[in-house]
Amino acid sequence: MLKLRAYAKINLGLRILGERDDGYHDLETVFHRIDLFDELELEPSDGISMQCVPEGLPTDERNLCVRAALLLRECLRGEDGVKILLRKNIPAGAGLGGGSSDAAATLLGLVRLWRADIPFRQILGLALKLGSDVPYFLREGSACATGRGEILEYIHLEVPYWIVVVYPGIPVSTAWAYKHLKSASVPAAPAGVVPRASLGDAVRRDMHELRNLNGHLKNDFEPLVFGAHERVERARRALHEAGAGAVHLSGSGSALYGLFTGEEEARAAAAILERDSFVSVTPAHFEPSFQPVEL
Ligand code: C5P
């Protein structure tokens, strides 16, 4: 049996650059993991099955973990099976990449469990079939992402702030957010122009200048999501009032994160926000610990 952690991410800035011919959008963002993870247990079995704790998520092909297992088995033309147990801590529909991270961990775990001989670039291809954010979660580190989110430049990013993530309990579907962004007049992607990954440079350069950094962390989904959900807008104000130096939306929402310069103020803010929202606190300079365990 194999036990793995699937960490959540936040987006440090998110720019939608334009709509593409394939229905997706070109974007520019920085992915960064936080101290919040799901736990996966993979046990060899005859068929492919799944259990989720707590219950509530679909455990059939609608679940990205099951889809990842089916896709890998098909690619390997194998007959191996797996029993997947997912202990879910990351809220779904929050923009924290929980489903994508679970899918990537399933792929990586199964390659090991099934002793599959498959090149990394092929695993990357499977990951992108599962979702635009899934490739990022195949490797450790933070990353500057462009394209659909799959053109990745991994970087070591030291974040000197305490990060308080708040999920106000309103799931936002990525497809919904992109669809409604359309009406907010996103420009068509200029043909043949590859965006320069300048957001990552700006975030790194101004990491210690919170005021400048705040400008780079702008997320293009913010007007749409704050406008559509009063509860999210209220959580944003609450984070500011609790002393966050910067407050932004992660992904297409509805989770928000606030950056705090000290532990005490971060914990005090979390204690207030926890009264009516899911809250997760990530210490300054946090480094995730992946270490898969074989039992
Ligand atoms: O790739 P993923 O399955 O997460 O995307 C869900 C939906 O979000 C897509 O079907 C697409 O409508 C939209 N999307 C997009 N541009 C991206 C990522 C997602 O338009 N870069």
Q: What is the pLDDT of residues 83-142, one digit of tens each?
A: 999 999 999 999 999 999 999 999 999 999 999 999 999 999 999 999 999 999 999 999
**How far does the centroid of ligand 1 lie from the alpha carbon of residue 104, in Å?**
17
Pocket-testing residue among 15, 16, 22, 25, ligand 1, by greatest number of atoms within 8 A of Cβ: 25
Catalytic amino acids? 9, 133
Give yes or no for residue 251 CB within 6 A of ligand 1.
no
pLDDT surpassing 90 at residue 291 = no
Q: Give the residue, out of 9, 24, 219, with the most ligand 1 atoms within 8 A of its beta carbon, to mutate for a pocket test.
A: 24
| Separation of CA 107 and ligand 1 centre (Å) | 20
pLDDT in tens, 71-80: 999 999 999 9
Cβ(278) to ligand 1 under 6 A? Answer: no
| pLDDT given for residue 197 in this prediction | 45
Q: How high does pLDDT run on average in the chain?
A: 94
- Is the C-beta atom of 32 inside 6 A of ligand 1? no
Is 80 exceeded by the pLDDT of residue 212?
A: yes
pLDDT digits 0-9 by tens, 167-199: 999 999 999 999 998 655 566 666 655 555 489
- Edge-to-edge strands of the sheet including 162-167? 246-249, 256-260, 162-167, 278-282
Q: Give yes or no for residue 278 having a pLDDT over 90.
A: yes
Q: How many CB atoms lie within 10 A of CB 145?
A: 26
Looking at the predicted structure, is the pLDDT value of residue 50 above 50?
yes
Average pLDDT over residues 6-29: 96
Position 292 scores a pLDDT of 81
Structure tokens at 61: 């092909």
- Mean pLDDT along residues 268-291: 96
Check pocket membership of 273 for ligand 1, CB cut-off 6 A.
no
Cα of 43 to ligand 1 centre, how many Å?
31
Ligand 1 within 6 A of 93 CB? no
Give the pLDDT score at 38: 98
Calculate how far, in angstroms, residue 293's C-alpha sits from the geometric centre of ligand 1: 33
Please tell me the predicted confidence (pLDDT) of residue 187: 63
227 has pLDDT over 90: yes
Tell me, what's the pLDDT at 147? Answer: 97
Measured from the Cα of 133, ligand 1's closest atom is 4
